[in-house]
């Protein structure tokens, strides 16, 4: 019973696929239905029209015409290859953008900013290498005063202390007061190393705070793009800055 049912189902499928034909021509193969022939013929004609249009476009092409795609494609071994674009997002930024929310990134950035302010208040940035050097301008009335000018004499300090930006006592103070604080060279070097270590830590935290700020901006930009308002890209995304879009102004209801 089951075998007969399967045989009947196969016969119905065959009748659905192929067109009925006389028994003497079955050895010629499947006789397709007219609707299948029309679909195949329409597809063939469509492809031929497409090839004809491509041949016409190739014949009428101007070799001196400029295409914007030329700026992004180069010819390599006779094959057009798309140039690699600059890296827009670093792997670390991409990982944070996919796994973390903008509120978490902003919270970490604010924490870094507070640590930076605390370090700045402790170090005062007096001899920071990355700090812009201060300028001290002296004014004179005659050229003779300029020629005879001496910085140590004018500041009333020792010549060895002129280059200091802090702790620069005058000659009178040096004569009256005794030397206070640490005087051993080993301890002075250790203090200098510790201070330099703190400055290096400050530099790293400043860089981390900048990176977190850029990541937060990129995440916020992606959220803003979910808005269906019409927009135009003004500036492309880079490693150090998010993409800039100009949104169509809409009147608030």
pLDDT tens by residue, 31-84? 778 888 899 999 999 999 999 999 998 888 887 777 777 777 877 887 878 776
| Least confident piece of the model among 4-8, 63-67, 134-138, 217-221 | 4-8
Question: How far, in Å, CA of 97 to CA of 90, rounded?
Answer: 11
Q: Is the dihedral of CA 121, 125, 126, 127 positive or negative?
A: positive
CB atoms within 10 A of CB 212: 21
In whole angstroms, how far apart are CA 16 and each of 1, 2, 19, 65, 110? 23, 21, 8, 54, 71
The chain-wide mean pLDDT, for the chain, equals: 78
Q: Which residues contact 144 (CB under 8 A, 6 or more apart)?
A: none
As given in the structure block, the two tokens for residue 106 are 């902003």
Top-confidence residue, 82 or 244: 244
Radius of gyration of the chain (CA): 40
pLDDT over 60 at 250, yes or no: yes
Question: How far, in Å, CA of 27 to CA of 32, rounded?
Answer: 14
Task: Outline where DSSP puts E strands in 11-127.
Answer: 73-76, 79-82
Provide DSSP, 97-133: HHHS-HHHHHHHHHHHHHHHHHHHHHHTTSS-TTSPP
- Average the pLDDT over 88-116 and give the result: 80
Per-residue pLDDT tens over the stretch 161-186: 777 666 677 877 777 766 555 556 78
231-244: burial string, b at 16+ Cβ within 10 Å, e else: eeeeeebeeeebbe
pLDDT over 90 at 245, yes or no: no
Highest-confidence range of 1-5, 83-87, 100-104, 171-175, by mean pLDDT?
100-104
In whole angstroms, how far apart are CA 252 and each of 63, 91, 224, 249? 51, 39, 17, 9
Would you state the pLDDT for residue 16?
47
């Amino acid at each position: 019973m089951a075998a007969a049912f399967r045989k009947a189902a196969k016969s119905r499928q065959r009748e659905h696929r192929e067109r009925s034909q006389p028994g003497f021509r079955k050895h010629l193969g499947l006789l397709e239905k007219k609707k299948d022939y029309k679909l195949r013929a329409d597809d063939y004609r469509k492809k031929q029209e497409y090839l004809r249009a491509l041949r016409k476009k190739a014949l009428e092409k101007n070799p001196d015409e400029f295409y914007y795609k030329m700026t992004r494609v180069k010819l390599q071994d006779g094959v057009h290859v798309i140039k690699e674009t600059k890296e827009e997002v670093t792997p670390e930024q991409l990982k944070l953008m996919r796994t973390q929310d903008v509120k978490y990134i902003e919270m970490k950035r604010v924490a870094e900013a507070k640590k930076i302010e605390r370090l700045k208040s402790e170090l005062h940035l007096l001899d920071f290498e990355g700090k812009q050097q201060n300028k001290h301008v002296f004014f004179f009335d005659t050229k003779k005063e300029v020629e005879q000018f001496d910085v140590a004499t004018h500041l009333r300090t020792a010549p060895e202390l002129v280059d200091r930006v802090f702790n620069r006592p005058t000659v009178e103070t040096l004569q009256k007061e005794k030397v206070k604080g640490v005087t051993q060279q080993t301890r002075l070097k250790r203090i200098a190393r510790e201070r330099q270590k703190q400055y290096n830590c400050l530099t790293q935290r400043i860089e981390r705070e900048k990176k977190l700020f850029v990541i937060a901006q990129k995440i916020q930009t992606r959220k803003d793009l979910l808005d269906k308002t019409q927009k135009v890209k003004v500036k492309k995304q880079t490693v150090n800055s998010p993409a800039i879009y100009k949104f169509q102004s809409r009147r608030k209801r």
